[in-house]
Every structure is written in C-alpha cells, then in structure tokens.
Amino acid sequence: MTPTSSQPSSIAALLAAALLAGCASLPPGTDSRTATVTRTAHGVPHIVAPDLETLAYGVGYAHAQDNVCLTADQLLTVRGERSRHFGGSAQGLLGLRWLPNEQIDAYVATMVDDAALERAWSRASGNSQAMARGWVAGYNRFLQDRAGNLPAACKGQPWVQAMTLRDFRRFTEILSMQAGQVALADAVVGARPPAASPAAATAPTVPAARAGAVSADALAEAVAAFREVGLVDPPYGSNAWAFGRDTSAGSRGVLLGNPHFPWVGSNRFWQMHLTIPGQLDVMGASIGWAPWVQIGFNRDVAWSHTVSTGVRFTLHELQLVEGDPTAYRVDGQVHRMQRREADITVRAADGSTRVQRVGAWSTRFGPVVVLPRAGLNWTARNAYALQDVNTGNVRSGDTWLGFGSASRVQDLQAAMRNLGVPWVNTVAADRQGQVMYADVSAVPDMDAALLARCAPSRAAAALLGAARIAVVDGSRSECDWRRDAGSPVPGVTPIERMPVAVRSDWVHNSNDSFFYTHPAQRFEGISPLVGDDVIRRLRTRSGLTELPELMARGPVTPEAALGQLFANRNTAARLVLPDLLAACAATPPSQAQARDGCTALQGWDRSNQLTARGAHVFREFWRSASALPNVHRVPFDRARPIATPDGLRLSDPAVAPKVWEALAAAVVKVRGAGFALDAPLGSVQRAITSAEPIGLHGGDDTEGVLNNLGDRRAPGITARGIVIDYGTSYLQAVGFDERGPVARGLLSFGQSVDPASPHSSDQTRLFARQEVPRLPFHPEEIARERVGEVLRLVRPSGMP
C-alpha cells in the first residue's frame, strides 16, 4: 500500500474543469429558465436545468410531488406554530428529538434569530442564495398547481401554506445545529434563574467539588442524561467503506455508502439526479429541503458521510455576580444576560386557543441551559451557556456543490476548506483508484493545551471523555473560541488541523473517531474535540473484522461490498453467546423463562437475516444485558481495542444473576408481545413506513450488525413486532468504468411519505429481498428507463 497525496485544487478550478465534461443537454427550443424532470424506476427524478436557480426550482417541485405533506408539517415547526394547530402537549420532531409542541414552539420563537440569519445569508455565496430561492419557488409552484388536490394527510388543512426564504433559512439553521443546541432545546426553554426556582439555588453543579474526586455515580448519571437527549450514542450513524486500486476490482475506486438515519421526519433522505449541461452532473440523495446532493457520485468521484465524533458545542461555566444570577463576569467585567420573550398560540382539546408567553435566557456565548440530571443547574454561583459551532453555518451548500463537480478525492478536500460540513465525516473513492477519509466537520477551535487551561473542574472535564461533552471556563475570554485565530472561519478548526487521509488501499468509518480509519493510518496534532481512541460503536469492531475478510476473498466489487453488508452478522452474539450457551449447559438458570431463552438461542445462526430464528430474543436480551456493570469477562483494554471487551462474566456472583434475569425478561417480553421464541426475524421486524407488514433483515446498533436498523422512538418488541423507524436509509454501492460511475442504490423507505403513492414502500420491498438496482446515470440509460411523461417547469422570469 502506498499513501498518495497532491495539492487540492480550488473550487474555481474545479468548476472550470467541469465545464469541459460532457453532460445531458436540454431539449432543443427549451426556454432558458426551464427545468425538466424525468422519472425512472421507483420514482427517482433526473432533473436538468440551465442554471442553479432553475435546477433548484425543479428539485423543490419534484420533492413536493413526493413529500408535500411532510414539508407542510415541517413548516409549522420552523415557524413555531405546532401548538396552534396540534396542541401544546402533542409531540413533534425538532431535529432528531420528539418533544412536546409547546417546547418546540418556545424554542423556535425565542432562539431562532431571523435578523442574524439574514446577515449570515447575506454573506452566503450567490450559488447558495440562488438555490435557496429556486427551491422555495418550486415548492410554492407545486402548491399552486395542486391547490385543493393534495394527499389525504394534508388535503384541505389550513396549515398548508406557501414557503418563504425566511422559512428555508430557519430550516437549514435547525438542521445544522441538530447535533448541538437543538438537541438541548428543552434545556434551553426550561432554564430559569434561581429566584424563579428556589430549589435550584442550592442544587449541586457539575464542578461542585473542584478539588475532590469525581463521583462515578454522578458521572454515570450525567452520561445517561446526555444519552437521553441524543448526545451520547446519538440516534444517527452510518457505515462508509472505500476501496482503492490496491484492493478493488479493475484498479478503480469502489465505495459503499450506508447512512443510518431516520425513516420519518425532516431527516428522511430523498433521491435525485441533478444536471446542468457542461457544468454539473451528480446523483445521490439528501435530507430535508436540500437542493443539492449531499451523498452521491458523479462521473469521477463517489462519496458518503458518517456522523463524526467531533464536538459541536461547548458549555461555558459562568461565574455569576453575587446577588444577581442573571449577570456574569468575563475577565472581571460584568455582562448581563438577555431575556428573549415571545408569544405562542396553543390550541386546546375543544379547539379554543390561548396566547402563552414564553422565554429563554441568552449570553454572549449563547443560550443558558439547565439539565439537572447531568448536574447542569442554574444556581446563585454558576450557570451554563451553550456555544454552538454551527450557528449561522450557511457554507454547506457550497461544499456539496463542490463535491458534485469534483474529479478526484483531492477536489473534495478543496471543497471542504470552507468548513461548511456541519457534523459528518467524509469517505470517498475516485475513478483513479484513490480513497479518502476526512473529518473536516465544524469543530470549535480549541486544542488540547487550550482545553487544559480552560477546564472548569475535574467533574466537568470528565464529561469530555465520558460523554464527549466539553465544559470550559466561561469567566475568561481566552476560552471563547469565536475569535479570529487565523482560521478561514473564525472559531472553526481549519482543515490543516483536521484528520484527512488519502490512500490507495482502503478506509472506513462506522461513527467512531479518525483513530480507526485504517490500522496503519496515524494522525498527529488533532484536538481532543475531534475524537479520541475509545471505540463506542460495536459496528467499528465489526468493520475492522469483516472488511479484511472481504478483501481476503479477492478484489472488491460494489456487489461484493453489498454482500458483506447484507450478511447481517451479529458481532455481539459472536462475542458473548459462546459463554452464555456454555453456562446454559453447565449450570442451567433457575428461571424457566431463562432456560427457554437458552434453547431459543442455541438454535439461532447468529445472524439477522429474515430467516434467522431467535434473533429477536437476543435483541431484547442484549438491550438490557449490555448495560450491566462489569458484564464482560474481558474488559475493554486500550491496547487491544478491536478485541475487547469480550465474553460474559458469568463466574461473578454479582453479575450472573442479572444476566439470567435479563434473558428471562426478554423471553417474557417476546411472549407477551405474542411471538414465538423461534419465530423468524422477518415475521417480527417490520417497517414503520409501510401499511403492509414488510419483514426486514438487519440488527440494532448495540448488536454491532453493520446493516443497522433500529426502533428509536419506541424501543422494544410489542404486539406490532419490532417497528423500525431508523437505520439503513439511502444505500449506494459505486464503482467506475471508462465512462464513469457504475452504481447500485436504493432508498429503503421509498421516495414518498404518501401511502397512496406507488413509491411509498416499493423500495422497502426491494430492501427486504436484498435487491439493490442499478441506477441509470448516462442520458441514454435515463431515456431507456424513463417512466411516465417528462415534466417541464418554466421558472417565472420575475422570480426574486
């Protein structure tokens, strides 16, 4: 293996080179503001336009054809109007969290700053602004065309309204910050000074005992609190594998992109192919309202993203002024907090409405947060303010446009220099046989030395290693990383100090840090805020075990990579089941249910295929058993991170009874839900997005199954089975030939949220059968596989 590198070209040079590339052309006589939309199998749109604004106009329209009701519902979120229409106690999605509508509206009304967003967008590129305008206008055009004839979920509803640029800006801001401030929205709107909450005046804070030992119980409770809000073991993930010329068939790059994301809400992926003749030709998928491809491929490069371990915010421990808990000192000078207030309208069960005053407190760093379970209390002495690195991040559109025009992996590096990628790693392969791993996501610019100088206490510092939460001293301006320290974007760690590797053999990521990109890859000088050497995802161990086995079988093809993913091997079972079954035989548990569980697991093939019998029993068992203290026979060893932890500590009298209790409880739960212990997984595990019971293969993140599927909102088996609402979503396996990409891909939940659409679950059935179709990319392939009539949309000339 030989690492390769070269200077990344500029985005301008990248786009200039793209002008020489041959792409699809618009039909003769087509208006200069016309977007054409050609659908192929499974409703995938291929959109061609003469410019970016018209292209985005077509994207907004086509997306609304599939998902207008979803977008209309999301508009209520970004406007803070959910309570007005659905009531305050009903729940909605804000980013990746389900919260009461009242909390969502309060957060949006008080913390989304339209004036600041307008200033940020005034600095955005002309390309990003044009595409935002186009997307909004395309959505509104669809509403105009289909007035009175919308899908049943939103037909005739008063909350279906036209979109504005303000709405689009709000949506992108919330999406960018969903791994930071938005995840703590309830902690923001729930923050009250101690005068309003007397008990808080004496409540302990994280750094209560500055010189004392950190309480293990308190730290565990804090970790649990952050896990509950999705900031520890976050409810999103992914796998991405790239194989270079040393390991791939044909000596060209091969990429498998396998993002694990929600099947519902604003983070649903949607497939598209975007072309501007002579300038852009890119295919893939994006989440939300993105008018650009976020994960995909073009003629020369394929890439995917995985959520990275980078820290997206810091918590600043404020030293409050004695007698005034809404004033704090920085470098000895007094600063006053600002109270942000707004009115929201709340609908009652009888249809009447009331106006409710809501508020939140803000500082020079950001909002004050209160999370008592984590020890983040507002007392007479201290409060905690959250500073999010993605506030005002309007750069990501340019990053992804640069990706779409890339001709080699170094061009992706060039596109990332603007530091617009909000919270993901990038894994890529190109037609020349190079592969790349990069975590150039937005991370506060604090190195290890500055973190040490800014540490507020032992307990607070411990949160970084335990929960990836960085607490810093808020009484010193040195610890305010929003300063101009030479970075192209003040406060964001520049690419030169982020981990980037270009190789010719292989790289991978499954949501652990850059340390585990490749066994031979080393990085120096990377901030602890980017990542550490702890493996938190069992899928990382799965990948580092299974990928060498895949390569040992011969040169890797896209089909071989898909086959490895769909083997659905259960790593947790490989690690712990031998000990469990040996103990079942040697010292059978006293509980009859546990003995029945032993019998079921003895007959299981340790996979998560549709036909696997007993997989659901192990799932319910391991959900609880994996959280037991000291459950492993061999504990984690930093010197052997791939091999540990391992086994079950069933010789320990403090552990064994709890393991058997977990197994017995799993049996009771499975039977109580009405399923046999030896039922095939396909009869138990089903898609939330399909009205018909489509059985699914795949396993939970805690099991280390690479093909990750989860039931995040309502975990656990019920009478409906295991209802999947998260996991493998947009899936692509891409290779290259002399003409360009040879790609397979699917969207596991389908293109549309409308149950009446033929594309609401057609790809779910493909996914269940492990059929990943070829994706038409070249013009003649699209013409040959066209389904239905070509749609031509003329963008109004006077459109702002």
Nearest Cα residue to 314 out of 491, 526, 98, 524: 491
Nearest Cα residue to 683 out of 747, 614, 624: 614
**Chain centre to alpha carbon of residue 22:** 34
**Calpha distance 634→648 (Å, rounded):** 8
207 DSSP assignment: T
Q: Residues 9, 128, 176, 238: which is the catalytic one? A: 238
Nearest Cα residue to 651 out of 574, 572, 586: 586
Residue with tokens 């994706």: 775
Residue with tokens 């309204």: 161
Q: Are strands 280-287 and 722-724 parallel, antiparallel or unpaired?
A: unpaired
**Chain centre to alpha carbon of residue 753:** 19
The helix or strand, by DSSP H or E, that contains position 735, with its residue range, turns out to be strand 730-736
Nearest Cα residue to 302 out of 492, 558, 613, 131: 558
For residue 361, how many C-alpha atoms fall within 13 Å in the half-sphere facing its CB? 21
Residue with tokens 């299981």: 604
Torsion angles phi and psi, residue 274, rounded to 5: -115, 130
Region of residue 591 (phi > 0: left; psi between -120 and 50: alpha; otherwise: beta): beta
DSSP annotation string for 585-618: HHS--SSHHHHHHHHHHHT--SB-STT-BSHHHH
270, 300, 402, 739 from 279: Cα distances, Å: 22, 14, 11, 17
22, 245, 499, 777 from 17: Cα distances, Å: 11, 24, 27, 20
Q: Are strands 269-276 and 44-48 parallel, antiparallel or unpaired?
A: parallel
| 238 is an active site residue | yes
Specify burial of residue 523 (Cβ count, 10 A radius: 0-12, 13-18, 19+): middle
Q: What share of the chain is helix, strand, coil (3-state, %, to 5)?
A: 35, 25, 45
What's at 573, amino acid-wise? A
Helices (H), ranges, 626-761: 656-672
**Calpha distance 295→271 (Å, rounded):** 10
Pair of tokens at residue 473: 């001293």
**Calpha distance 731→747 (Å, rounded):** 6
530: Cβ contacts below 8 Å, ≥ 6 apart: 308, 309, 310, 311, 439, 443, 493, 498, 499, 513, 514
> In this structure, how many other beta carbons lie within 10 angstroms of the beta carbon of residue 306?
28
Enumerate the active-site residues. 238
